[in-house]
A = this chain, B = another copy of it.
Amino acid sequence: MTFIEKLNHSWCESNSLLMLGLDPNPDRFPAELSGRSGAIFEFCKGIIDAAATFACGVKPQIAYFSANRAEDQLEALCGYIRDHHPKLPIVLDAKRGDIGATAEQYAREAFERYQADAVTVNPYMGFDSLEPFLAWRDKGVAVLCRTSNPGGSDLQFVKSSNDKPLYIHVAELVSRRWNTNGQCALVVGATFPEEIGKVRQRVGDMPLLIPGIGAQGGDIRATVAAGRDSRGAGMMISSSRAILYASPEDDWREAAARIARATRDAINAAR
């Protein structure tokens, strides 16, 4: 099954557009995990087992694993998800981008080592930097377009000569030229719903990966109104910290489940 097929199935079966983001920061773990070896795996496993039923997919952020010398725990976690939550697509959030020969290695990292279903990539280096990812034809490739952070405007809002901002140029490049195999998605931040709408207008039913609700403060109603596709789906709306760190106490799993369910419901109420 391709990433897009798996995602479509998951949207239907889970009745959720919530993407469960995994940004495991050991400084914020509950006391029972503090200082334990394998704590990153255990924390993520606890969150997934409690909250994954309210999500359409899982998005581990590789930086948190790499900074903590925990690539082995990320491998184990991806294996655990495949074994115990096989219907949930895994989107590796890595934002890779490099020349072709190097991008081949990054594609192997994402798809061979971690066996992710999709990976996030950075478009700054252009099409040939994404081709090695696209060569994995069953996999998904989510291209940064309009990011959720304030500084995103520094480049993404640069107006080209026909008055088109760079993020629109990227959306058009991806939808009209780069997505020849129908495996691409675009990353657009929930903090800018107006721009989500402009992207949606141009890309048909291409899936959008939308971070920025939760800790970053994006508005769910505006996001869903702007981002839904022709079937009322088409979005992976990601929340990480608001769910992961819902409680610092022993009830961290239940608290994560509660917030995940409430977030799913708030998204569905806006569909």
- Contact check, B173 vs A169: say whether CB atoms are below 8 A apart: no
Tell me the A126-181 residues at the B interface (CB within 8 Å). Answer: 126-129, 144, 147-156, 158-161, 163, 166, 169-170, 173
Within 8 Å of chain B (Cβ to Cβ): is A98?
A: yes
Closest residue to A123 on the B side, CB-wise?
B155
Closest residue to A158 on the B side, CB-wise?
B160
- Contact check, A101 vs B23: say whether CB atoms are below 8 A apart: yes
Interface centre among A126, A163, A241 (most CB of B within 10 A): A126
- Contact check, A152 vs B169: say whether CB atoms are below 8 A apart: no
CA gap between A61 and B99 in the complex, in Å: 11
Within 8 Å of chain B (Cβ to Cβ): is A122?
A: yes
- Contact check, A105 vs B67: say whether CB atoms are below 8 A apart: yes
- Contact check, B156 vs A126: say whether CB atoms are below 8 A apart: yes
Q: Which of A79-87, A107-115, A202-210, A222-230 contacts B (4 or more CB under 8 A)?
A: A107-115
CA gap between A71 and B75 in the complex, in Å: 13
- Contact check, A125 vs B149: say whether CB atoms are below 8 A apart: yes
Given the interface pairs A69-B113, A71-B71, A108-B67, the reply to whether A128 lies near B151 with Cβ below 8 Å is yes
- Contact check, A148 vs B71: say whether CB atoms are below 8 A apart: no
Closest residue to A148 on the B side, CB-wise?
B99
The interface residues of chain A, by DSSP majority, are classed as helix
Within 8 Å of chain B (Cβ to Cβ): is A66?
A: yes
- Nearest chain B CB to A113's CB is how many angstroms away? 6
Residue numbers in B under 8 Å from A161 (CB-CB): 159-161, 163
Within 8 Å of chain B (Cβ to Cβ): is A102?
A: yes
Within 8 Å of chain B (Cβ to Cβ): is A258?
A: no
Residue numbers in B under 8 Å from A155 (CB-CB): 123-126, 166, 169-170
- Contact check, A109 vs B63: say whether CB atoms are below 8 A apart: yes
Residue numbers in B under 8 Å from A144 (CB-CB): 124-125
Within 8 Å of chain B (Cβ to Cβ): is A193?
A: no
Chain A contacts to B: CB under 8 angstroms: 23, 25, 61, 63-64, 66-67, 69, 71, 95-103, 105-106, 108-109, 112-113, 122-129, 144, 147-156, 158-161, 163, 166, 169-170, 173, 211, 216, 241
23 residue pairs from A and B, CB less than 8 Å apart: A61-B102, A61-B105, A63-B98, A63-B103, A63-B105, A63-B106, A63-B109, A64-B105, A66-B106, A99-B149, A122-B124, A124-B124, A124-B144, A124-B147, A124-B155, A125-B155, A126-B147, A126-B155, A126-B156, A127-B151, A128-B150, A128-B151, A158-B166
